[in-house]
Structure 1
Amino acid sequence: MRQRPDEPGSAVTPGPVDEAHAPEPNEALAALVTKLRTELAGVRTAMRNRAVIEQAKGVLVERLGVTPDAAFDHLLQLSQRANIKLVEVAASVVGATAPDPQAAPVTTAPARQPGGASKIRRPGPGASAPGKNRPPAHEALQARHQLISSRIAASGSFDEAAEAIGTAAASWPGPATVLITLVEPAGAHRLAGAYGMSAHARRAWQQVPPQVAVPITRAARDRTALLVTDSQEIADQFPDLADQGLDAQAVFAAPLLDGDRVIGTLGLSWERRVDLDADTNRYLSALAEPVARKAAELAARATASPAGTDEDSATWLPIVLETLVHPAAVLAPVWADGQVVDFRIEHANTAAAELISPARAGQDATLLTAYPRVGSELLLPGLVGVLHSGGPRRLGPARLSPTAGADPAISQVMTADASRVWDRAVMVWRVHDESELIHSQLLDAERIARIGSFRWELERAEPHCSPQLYRMYFGDGQRHPVRVGELAGCVHSDDLPALQDAVKRTLVGGEQLSWEVRGAGRLAGHRLHIVAQPELDGAGIVTAIRGTVQDVTNQRVMESRLRRAEVALTTQRRRVDAELEAAQALQRTLLPSEPELGATEGLWVTGRCRNSADPGRVDGDWYDACALPGGASLLVVGDVAGSGLAAMTTAARLRYAVRAYAALDMSPGEILSAVNTMLCVLEPERTATLVVARYEAQDHQLRWASAGQAAPVRYRGDGRAELLPGPLGLPVGVVAQVTYSDTALELASGDRLLLYTDSLVGTRGTDLVSALDVLLGAGAHVGSDDVEAVVSHVVESLQMGRDADMGAMLVRVTN
């Protein structure tokens, strides 16, 4: 065959070159590199296509009875007539005779839009047999599948296999990215090959832990292919996909199986939505099989190959397990309906075989047959978690059911450590008496409580001490020689004689020792509580002493602090009691006496201060009534914010200040303005509400002013009730230089007035309108001149709490 000049290996005689137009050396070198790269790409394409061409030649040799060269010429003629590439003609010939791939079903998420996802099933009994009356579309799918499979089989690396999938002319849209991963022993997915990925994306997918929510980890975990074609479903199910540098509108992932082992995954993504029919989905899923074969072949060439685990593990795993003292086994998951239902004991060392009964240690031994209860409750879910997360996990402790013939009083406990090796789990466990766990718990208790124990057999010079006692004495838990005579250096010299005397009584008389001493040397500043119990022989002679030494330094410090706090609390209580008594006495002094109430001309006056039900509290409520020069009377009701002696002191100052200002013939509004200035200057931290009224008996005129929201209530003789009209001002002590106005009105004989503090209607949670309605409706109780009845009626009607304090004064015009 004549060789074309542009084909590789052709010999071309160079013609003359014009030296003036000769290319630069760098340009010539770049052109040569480009040419070589193009030729290399062509050679690689030819190598990938050679397998399917050779298969087609074999089919024609068998069907037509011709030689291989004649079969190749026949393929060339078909290619030229149909104007189709030779490799595609060969794929069509092979696809028409090859059986359909038995692809595994594809799990799909429910689509948010019609046609957004599909589910592939294996061909049913009615599926067309290979090469028998298959429609042309079906044969086209088969041909493309054979072509892609051949290109994958001819690939020399994982990247070439991914490129063969990404660039193939398939019935589905070309994917934006293709990736192939291998599963590492701990379950992580290591990127082996990719197509369409940037360098940044490759770094993000270099190693993906099994717990990351991306399609390949889900496919490997569930051992089934999945296809999601809705972007919202992708965001919901795989939130970590965006963090891995992929913004996909559709994704596909399938596990790569080598026997029953998951050795890797195949993943595809599209940047737009794809709609695939059932046959196309089935052939898409079938890509996993040739990729798995190629992955096993390529991985087998590497030294750290997971593909050889079936053969290699049978050699080295038993050897490794036999080096372990404790029982150990390699457990293979048993799958049913997409879930792990048990673990098959694949390899076990001698210690494990002795622990498991011979009847359950055969080829079909499983975790649940060996340990039914503990296996189902603890081991099975724990091992499944190890497979999913890839990280090691401590399981137990768990109580085991007593075996046949065992003493039921002796409780056995299992503890296990498990880790993942590829898609298997390695478990190392121990079965021991519960006393071993209790021993470690006792050591922890000694360390936490800072207490050590000892046993001293008198015939020996060195007592046996617990680790905590060594830690207290030497500062660590290491065992050091400790002589009994050396222990005297740990005791303060002032406490040593008494301790030696107590020890003598224990050794000679067999008395129990309980003593507290101060430490010395390294234990200086510590207090130690020693308890020792002698052991006697049959003759009553002390042969050994066992006991404990506890560091009670912190306890004694806390006790000292507690005693000081108790003393301070007692002092505080006495001071509070003294202040309470003083406040109660001051309140009694502030309230007017009966002679003072009766001295008001033309009025009958009575009052009531209701304190909180708290016995340790005195509130700042008060009222006052006194006669003024010229036949006038002063009426005051006040409430100082706060409680206790300080509030009552302020109330006393306000009482006498109001009396003094009233004696100067100041109006109620002027009195409130003056009191407000006094409180802002002298006691800026205090506020108070006041109602001040001045009654002139000669003309029955009442002038009143309020610092607060309590307007007096007037009950007429005919039973009508009304709030006195007039302005209400801010409490005194809130803002300086506030002007208060007073209001004048005429009272009739028999009218009654109720003056009260804000707390009677302004308690938190009380509706003001409802409270005023209750006050206006209290006329029936006012008729008896019983202020106690009025206050009780208001309190009960408004359901005020036991802590509500208030002051009220009832006034009746007598003439």
Structure 2
Amino acid sequence: MIRTDDPTPSALAELAAEVDDLRARYAAHHLLDLAVGVLVAQLGLEPQDAARHLEELAAAAGTPATDLAADIVNQAAGQVVSLDLAAVGREARALRRVGARVQVAEELDEVATALVEDGLERFGASGLLLWRASSDGCLALVGGHGCSSLEMSRWRLLPPQLCSLPMEALTESHPLWFPKGPEERGVLPGPSAESARALIPLRARGRTVGLALVLWPGPAPLDESTREQVEGLVSVSARVLDAGRATDYASDRPVLAAVLDLLAHPGMSLWHGDGGEPRVEHLNPTARRVAAPLPSQTGRPLSQLFPYAAAELTELVGEAQRSGSPQRMSRLPTARGRDDPPPLLNVRVLPLSPERSVVLWHLSSRDHSFSLLQSTGRLAGAAAFEDDLLRGVAQWTDQAFALFDLPPEAAPLTLDQLHNLVSPDSRGELDALLETLTDRLEPGTAVLQRPRTDGGVRHIRVIAEPLLTHGTLTGVTGVFQDVSIQHHTEVALAATFDQLTTVQAKADQRHALALQLQRAILPDLPEFDADSGIQVAARYRPAAEEYRVGGDWYDVVRLPDGSLLVAVGDVAGHGIDAATGMVALRNALRGLAVTGHGPARLMHWLNEVALHSPGRPTATCICAVYRPQDRRLRWTSAGHLPPLLLRGGRAELLDHGHSLLLGAVADVRYGEAVTELRPGDRLLLYTDGLIERRHASLDQTLAVLRRTAEHLPEVGLDQQADVLVERSLGDTDDDSSLVLLRIR
């Protein structure tokens, strides 16, 4: 017998398992009783005879009685039931297998996989995409199988204003069949232009809840029988889409779950739309380890997973919902017994919607030690610091002394001791930062001016956050960063923009000034002699719209060990902010590269730089390091288009999987690929402005780029780069950059 007064997690786990077992038994008995009732009504049998008849039918069909009961109840709900064993034979069992696998799937990608592998493959189909219809008329891609992640990313969100075939099928609520591909009707994802496709609206409870796109590897007849059976199979997913509407996020639930899973500290999302106790929707791996070890942790009330903190955390969630702003608490529960589990520290509740919140917390008062912050000293113009407020002392990395023009043997200063080192104009901003850190116990940032001995001024950004021990402020930690170059760049860009706006009547002059500005902040290529083993050509094409400065950039830098850093990036947006973010990221990458670390680590650091840059720029980037000694190319990508390798007259796209763009979330770990290059190989790195077209899919434009590269004339590398720019496909008026390398 289990003691119900035992509050330990093991007792909770046993109780929950026992309850789940009782619920499963009750559900099975209830299903059998319903089937017996159908047999009594249809065959006029006594209840005991109907139960015995059900067992005999199940034994003859070779299927569990509960499965046969489900068939009988499902058929009775839709039409007059037939007890012919052939009617509940292979096809019914196949449909039941599909339905069962779909119902237990945890993600909609798994739903699509189950439908294809257990059902649609019998009709020659090879892929399936599922969109959910949102309340604002958008179609959000929530699951797929048999389609590349690159292709799926292009169809992630379809607004109602977009004239597309999926929107046509959704609004008309009628399937669209394309036995030989959509041809002139429009563009759809698929293996090829001639591949058969079917767009099938998904309905549940009298409304259209989503859309399914079935893909075939080639043309298919799609006769009437095939259409009926395919529609029947994919309709199973309608119930899953409809059931997920109440617990799906406004954009895409898997996206938030993936973001939470990237965090090193615990995080979870809560659903409280029914007015009752919050329920746990998702726990990241760290949170799962510290929560009560119950089976099927998601979907349970908060009190089952965090019984000691649930009451106070529920109040904090309620306050966040009432105020519409994040709420913080240094510790939950505020009181703790000797044998209780560790408390939740530095708790933050973020209200996402009236029905949903995200909770983040730490396991210790200091998740990041100063020894880890020392690695930031290798960043160009950055240095770590930490103030111990209890002892009144500070720690600095070596780079901090140079930033403040102090000798290395000088004693580090705490933040409140910097008043005499900064200009009088900066002291008010330093006081405001100290107030934010010590009074409000919130992170803060400030830009301080440090007069230099040569009469100039150095601009130093301070990014700091308080350190709490059991809710008490015990220290401050953060980073000093030299942003003088960025500051002067912002001033120069702002001045240039002001000048451009004063000559709006002179379009030619406006365009020339914008082009001159962009070229001025793009780097010069290093010189390569005949023995270097490599040739490099780079090009930049400005946006078609006049004075529309963009965020595309490239860089080619010789490293101290003889390697070559090659990078191409694209900062989101246009104008002064995009160009400023571009300069910041390019210069930061140059400084990071001298550390000698590989592209994956450099990209990780560059992501942190983006997160702490003014305006929080987001960007795609590809970073590669080429070693001439062994012709090895190590490279990584942050959401960028794949490089193109030309070898022996053939062009091949290099891809090593999906990765997040810079500036999206913190602490992203990037993968790294190694490509062995050969003499005569050419490698093309480029931005999307070179190939992106308004009415063509990404796969189509990449295929055209490959054909263009394969038919480049036999001329010099610079002339080939010019040809690629002249023959570019892009028609979006976006700027574009490319770097072309040839291995000798």
Query: What TM-score results when the alignment is normalised by the length of structure 1?
Result: 0.28
Which is greater in Rg? 1
